[in-house]
């Protein structure tokens, strides 16, 4: 007979959840908003309290993963150079780069004193012009300005953002290669406002907000003033499509092709 689980306490009422939390100590100040309860899903529950590694130093990806309850992450960026050929199609380029990141970190952590990771997540994002030219992070102010002009002036301001998500988990058996992977590539079309002036572009470049971002702008920040519209998922442009990421996690942990993973959930 299966072990009986203690019933979970009911969540707060909607009236309670709508009330902001008060500061625990110190002088009275503005109340803090109440955070939502974590998602209760089998795939997420089975990795809570285990080693979950984000193979990326991106604070934006870490913040997005926290939204679905993955807050206790180890941040271990890949050490492999991102030097895939730009002759690849953007779809292939981001996928191969993200796969390389995930496997590099997973293989480095297999024999860690902390134990084998339960899940390694990696992602890569690039911006592509309408002609398929891959744009990553600008290396200096001149290149940054030229990049934004290219996005504004090409194809009526339309360009594409691709993010590849890769999840790696260990297999309990010795079956080669010893791990299972799931991947996804998300594509979003973004249109810059063609009336944006060079003066505004230069002013934005000098904020340095886009200096560490593919394509040279951050849609979630000041860079939103450059964008007229998008067709696709917003968080993909930020750097991690959350709906697809959750699906990748669920598939790799509960895959019908990997019996060991099914046994863990059941």
Q: Which residues are catalytic?
A: 124
Asked whether the beta carbons of 218 and 137 are under 8 A apart, the reply is no
Gyration radius (Cα) of the chain, Å: 21
**Long-range pairs of 93-98 with CB within 8 A, sequence gap ≥ 24:** 93/126, 93/134, 93/162, 94/124, 94/125, 94/126, 94/162, 94/163, 94/164, 94/185, 95/124, 95/164, 95/166, 95/183, 95/185, 97/124, 97/164, 98/122, 98/123, 98/124, 98/164, 98/165, 98/166, 98/183
Question: Rounded to an integer, what is the distance from CA 264 to the centroid of its chain?
Answer: 25
């Amino acid at each position: 007979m299966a072990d009986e689980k203690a019933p979970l306490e009911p969540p707060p009422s909607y009236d309670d959840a709508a009330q902001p939390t008060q500061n625990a100590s110190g002088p009275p100040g503005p109340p803090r908003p109440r955070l939502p309860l974590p998602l209760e899903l089998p795939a997420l529950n089975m990795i809570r309290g285990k080693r979950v590694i984000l193979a990326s130093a991106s604070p934006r990806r870490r913040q997005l993963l926290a939204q679905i309850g993955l807050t206790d992450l180890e941040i271990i960026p890949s050490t492999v150079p991102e030097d895939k050929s730009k002759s690849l199609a953007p779809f292939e380029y981001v996928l191969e780069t993200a796969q390389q990141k995930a496997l590099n970190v997973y293989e480095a952590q297999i024999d860690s004193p902390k134990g084998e990771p339960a899940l390694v997540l990696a992602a890569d994002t690039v911006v592509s012009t309408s002609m398929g030219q891959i744009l990553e992070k600008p290396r200096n102010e001149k290149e940054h300005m030229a990049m934004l002009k290219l996005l504004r002036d090409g194809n009526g301001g339309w360009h594409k953002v691709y993010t590849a998500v890769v999840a790696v988990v260990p297999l309990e058996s010795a079956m080669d290669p010893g791990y299972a992977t799931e991947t996804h590539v998300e594509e979003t079309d973004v249109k810059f406002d063609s009336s944006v002036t060079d003066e505004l572009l230069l002013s934005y470049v000098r904020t340095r907000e886009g200096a560490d971002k593919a394509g040279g702008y951050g849609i979630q920040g000041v860079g939103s003033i450059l964008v007229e519209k998008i067709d696709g998922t917003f968080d993909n442009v930020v750097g991690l499509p959350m709906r697809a990421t959750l699906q990748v996690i669920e598939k790799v942990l509960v895959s019908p092709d990997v019996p060991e993973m099914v046994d863990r959930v059941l």
